[in-house]
Structure formats: structure tokens, C-alpha cells
Amino acid sequence: MCGFAGFIDNQECLNTNHSHLEVMLNSLLHRGPDDSGIWKEAGVCIGHRRLSIQDLSFNGHQPMKSTSGRFILVFNGEIYNYKSLRTNLKKKGISFQGCSDTEVLLALIETEGIENAIHKCVGMFAIALWDISDKRLYLARDRFGEKPLYYGWHDGVFIFGSELKALMAHPKFKKVIDKKSLSLLLSFGYIQSPHSIFKNTYKLQQGCIHTFKFPASIRSYTKENCESKVIDYWSSDRILTSNFKKPFNGNFDEATDELEELLIDSVSLQMHADVPLGAFLSGGVDSSLIVSLMQRLTNRQVQTFTIGFDDPRFNEAEYSKSIANHLETDHTELYLNNSDVQNIICKLPSVFDEPFADQSQIPTYLLSRLAKHNVTVCLSGDGADEIFCGYNKYFLGSKISNIRLRKFWAHSMKILPWKLIEDIGSILPVNLSKKISSERIEFIYKLLSANDNIELAKILSKSHLHPELFTKENVMHDTVFDNSSYADISQDFEYYAMALDRKSYLPDNIMTKVDRASMAVSLECRAPFLDYRIYNFASSLPHSFLSDGSTGKKILRELLFRYIPPNLIDRPKMGFSIPLADWLRGDLYNWAMDLLHGSDDEYLNLTECKNVMQRHFLCERDYSPVLWPILMFQAWRQEWL
């Protein structure tokens, strides 16, 4: 696990200043504390920081040059099946100096080309490959967006790197906030790819190879004068629509057996490391299954880690401990107190150098820090919800989608007195009644009046329906929700909602959170559920194998019960959440008000922000999902601008 950065600057082509790159790489020290390297030629600088996981010797040093001398590679991630790829390459007469997956990847690229090479890789990765002879740059990202990659054009220079902070470290980077991206942040809690918080700066989307050609005759590079081409070498949409027409034809037990074999292979591959390895254990289905398989595959006790809270509404540590005892793992737990949280709050803007507002970023960071004391690699259960239908919103949306006369009920909410509106929730097949408020009424109205599943999924994915109340820009970028490639599945809400989450929420929220939080403490986090072979299989399963209409991950539960008694698992889904609403009324109140201090500016309507904060403090309702993106943006501004 590593980090890399680079730039292409034809304005300084005769005397490339690699001191800029050293500063960029220093910003990524947390991603690679074990080694660093720089390669340069006229106008091109590429650098790498290494966290040694496979082949701890200098043979894994990057940037790495291919045997022919044509390619320079920097690589962040792991190729889990590199040993079998290496064996096949050796049969073709290719020799190797070391045992790293980087050397195997580079040899495979040189032998078969980058697209064919990546198709053969099982892993998580972000790649930058420079073709010396053709003056062409290839940027590539893994199938599910586990590893990050930013790029952009600034003052005539093309800049790229693993994290936004590396780009910002270049002296020609222009920190101009994209107000449309700010609206995305306030709406969803994260900024969807390919957009970033800064203008002229982008996130490479998952499953893509982006090729750039830099003509030597051009002195100042811009998006318009650089030749570029994007190939989506792998698409979960294409797999899903194909398997939708050709579903799995076995029975449930046969499907469970096949899934077990696939997961055992994935976990086995991801347990390979030349450093200490452990696992996150939340006590839920996903992580418990991963740990069960890990313990099956080793004679040693698996090291497991969990975070707990004194508040029972948010505490899963007791469940984790019971499962750890049953599996006989070497278990470590940490109970958080308010001082732990306050100490980490001030670090969030440096960890998440693009504003990010998933509340679970706090316990994820603290869990990673806890694990790092003992291990360098951790396996997690991330990705299972988006593949095996695990989120409660899928079932809520499905029930709403199937309500008869939805538009009638929506129209009724516009004309009936408020007391009668409160009773509508008890009339409908799905309970939508809670403490009445104008915001709640609007939310229910929009759900009921949604024209189709696309619009319904978009509403259920938002943190707030009206970001324009808080910003000076009320137009958002086009999002993945505007994609029309789901015609075959959009009639089934759960399939459709999962497809959208895999395209946006999974890479831009879940994997962003896990990558930044773990790499901030130099911990590599791996997700066995995100082996693309598991997704290929899961997307072929009948809906009844995934969900019963109110509970998801049916087949995962069945498999888990082969290892753990049902009574240790069967309980409502809790999620990795925190008592943020209470904290914002208590210990975090002064911190929040300090961030909102001042008059309106070009980005935020601070008057309205403070008004909502006061309404939250007075317990009118829980406004923490609305407030957290605003507070994270303000804290980020203080840190970086």
C-alpha cells in the first residue's frame, strides 16, 4: 500500500524542478513511510512513497522501470493473484529480480498491454504508467474504486496523485472551489466522481483507464489541448444487466456452497502479506463472516479489533466480543469517550483533504489507529451491503415504490390538515410516521410523488433535499443518478438502488472513508467482498436469494450460520454510527458554533446555518445529517484555505 504523485510541465522541460515533487511526496508520508523514489526526464516528474507489504526488499522499489526500459510505473494497492500471474509469465520466459506484485504487474503490462493486464488482475489499485517512447500517460483505477486517484490541469501543468493534498502541494495548483461540488457535498455528504471540490481537478472513476497524450509542441497544457481517452475496462452495470438476463440456475443451497468457495479463495488471497495481519470485527454479518473464514484458514488466532460506545444505542462491541469468543480470536476492543472524539475532530480535515461528511469517519479512524498498534494489514467487511442488498433504505424504497395510489397520497398531503397528515403513515403499507415537521412532510411528500425508481433512489440517497438554503450556488453537477443505463433493472427498486450505490456511494463514500482513515495511520485495509468474481456471481442470483423484502443479505446469513450460531447475529442492523446529534448539543456545540461564526460569504449562507444549529440545539429535531457536511466544509476551509 502506497501513495504516488507526479506532474508534466513542458514550461520547464529543459530543467525539470523535482523539488516540487519532493514536497508533494512529503504530503503522502503517511501512505508510504518505508521508502520513496523519484524518476524524471525533461518535463516529467513521477514519485512514489512505499508502505512495504509484499517483498520488503529494495526489489519492490518504485518508480519501477520495465525490462525494455519503455515504461515507468507507480502503483498504489495490491494485486492479490500476482503469484499465479508470475508463474504464467515465467512459463513465457520472463524472469524477475524480486517477488513484488509491482514487478509482476509491470511485466504483464509490457507483455499484454495495460488493458489486458488489468483485466487479469484481482486486486485494488491506482496506477500511473508513463510511456517514455510515446510520451503518453495512463492512469487506471480498480473496479470498485478502493484506491484513490486525482488529476487536473493548473497554470499549464498537468498534476496527479493519490490524494488531493499531494496536488495542492504543487506551487502551480489553484485552489478555486467548485461551488457545484459544494452543493453535492451538502446534498449527499460526499462529492461524487469525477468531480472534486476544486475546479479543473478530478477523481478518476472506478474501473477506468484514462490515457493522456502530451504533445511536445505545446508549452502550456490544458484540458482542451491534451489528447485524452477514457476506457471503462470493467463495469458493474454491464455485468448486472448481462446476468439479469442469464440468472443463476441452481438452488439456494448450491448457491451458498459456491459463494463459500469464492469467499474462501478471496479471503485466502487477501490474507497473504509479509507483515502482521488482522481484521475489523463489528459484530455484524459482514465482518463476522470474513473473520470466520480467516480463522478457518489459519492455525493461529486471528487478531480482531472493535470500537465500542458507552451509549447502548450505538454500541456493538458486546456483540463483537461474543463472536470473537466463539471464534476464539485474539480480540482487542476500545471504548470511546468524549475526549477521544474531540481530539480526533481537529484531525479530520487533514485526514480527509477533500471535504467529506460520513459521520462514521470518526470511529473508522480510531479503529484503524487501534489496529495499527498490532498489525499493518486489516481485512474488513466493506462492500457486502452494496452487493448483497444490505441497506434498510433498499427495503423502504421498494415498499414505497409498490404503494398503490402513491400520487393520491402525495396529493392528500398538500390539502389535508397537519393532524391528519400524521396519520397517513399508519395507513400506508410502510410506516413513515414520526414526529411531524415541515421537513418531514416534504420528505414523505417527495417519496410518495417520485415519478420512478430513479427519482426515488436519489431522494433516499440525500442527506438534505435543499442545499441551496445554505449555499450561494443552487446548481449541482450531473450525477450518476442521471445515468440511463439501467433500463433493464430500473423496475426493481432494490436492484436499481444497489447499482447506483456501487457506482457512487461505495467508491466515493465508503471506500474514501476507509482508505483515508486507514492510510492516515499507515494501515492497509482490504475488502474481500470486493473481489470482482464475487460480484459477478452475486449479480446473477435471484432476488429471493438476497432479500426477503424486509431483511437483506439472506445468502450471507445462511453462510455465516455455518460458523456462528444465529442467536449471536440475529438482531436489527445498527451500522457504524455515532451519537453525533447528542455531541452537537453538548461537547461539540462550541466547536460547531465557532465554525459557523461570522457573516455570509461567497460559499455559505451562515445565517441560515446558525439558525439550523440553534434549532438542533433546542431539540426541534435531529439536524445532524444536515449540519455535519456544513461543519466539515468549514473545518476543511480552515485547514486548507
Q: What is the mean pLDDT of residues 356-374?
A: 95
C-alpha cell at 618: 433546542
Half-sphere exposure of 625 (CA within 13 A, CB side): 13
User: Which has more confidence, 484 or 577?
Assistant: 577
pLDDT at 580 over 80: yes
Q: Which residue type does 48 have?
A: H
Confidence category of residue 309, pLDDT binned at 50, 70, 90: confident
Looking at the DSSP bridge assignments, the partners of residue 153 are 158
- Residue reference for cell 507526479: 6
- Residue 384, φ and ψ in degrees, nearest 5: -65, -40
Q: Are 46 and 130 in contact (CB under 8 A)?
A: yes
Q: Are 333 and 360 in contact (CB under 8 A)?
A: no
Residues of the chain with CATH 3.60.20.10: 2-234
pLDDT at 434 over 70: no
**Gap between the Cα atoms of 274 and 319, Å rounded:** 31
User: Is the domain covering 237-390+497-568 a CATH 3.40.50.620 domain?
Assistant: yes
pLDDT at 430 over 90: no
The three-state secondary structure class of 44 is strand
Question: Taking Cα atoms as reference points, which of 204, 162, 165 lies closest to residue 49?
Answer: 162
Q: Are 568 and 326 in contact (CB under 8 A)?
A: yes
Q: Are 119 and 74 in contact (CB under 8 A)?
A: no
C-alpha cell at 402: 409498490
Q: Which fold has domain 2-234?
A: Glutamine Phosphoribosylpyrophosphate, subunit 1, domain 1 (3.60.20)
pLDDT at 16 over 90: no
pLDDT at 572 over 50: yes
**Gap between the Cα atoms of 441 and 496, Å rounded:** 25
- Bridge-based pairing state of the strands 2-8 and 157-161: antiparallel
Q: 589 vs 123, 601, 627, 638, CA distance in Å?
A: 42, 22, 11, 18
User: Which has more confidence, 105 or 12?
Assistant: 105
For 99, counting Cβ atoms within 10 Å of its Cβ (0-12 exposed, 13-18 middle, 19+ buried), the class is: middle
For 401, counting Cβ atoms within 10 Å of its Cβ (0-12 exposed, 13-18 middle, 19+ buried), the class is: buried
pLDDT at 14: 45
pLDDT at 481 over 70: no
Q: Are 41 and 16 in contact (CB under 8 A)?
A: yes
Q: Which residue type does 452 have?
A: D
pTM of the model: 0.93
C-alpha cell at 610: 446558525
Q: What is the pLDDT of residues 592-615, one digit of tens each?
A: 999 999 888 899 999 999 999 999
Query: CA angle 559-284-567, nearest 5°?
Result: 70
Residues of the chain with CATH 3.40.50.620: 237-390+497-568
Question: Taking Cα atoms as reference points, which of 232, 255, 122 lies closest to residue 540?
Answer: 255
Q: What is the pLDDT of residues 124-174, one digit of tens each?
A: 999 999 999 999 999 999 999 999 999 999 999 999 999 999 999 999 999
Torsion, Cα 322 328 330 331, to 10 degrees, reads 0
User: Which has more confidence, 418 or 518?
Assistant: 518
Q: Is the bond into 194 cis (omega within 30 degrees of 0)?
A: yes
The three-state secondary structure class of 204 is coil
Averaged confidence pLDDT in the chain? 89
**Gap between the Cα atoms of 73 and 75, Å rounded:** 6
pLDDT at 425: 53
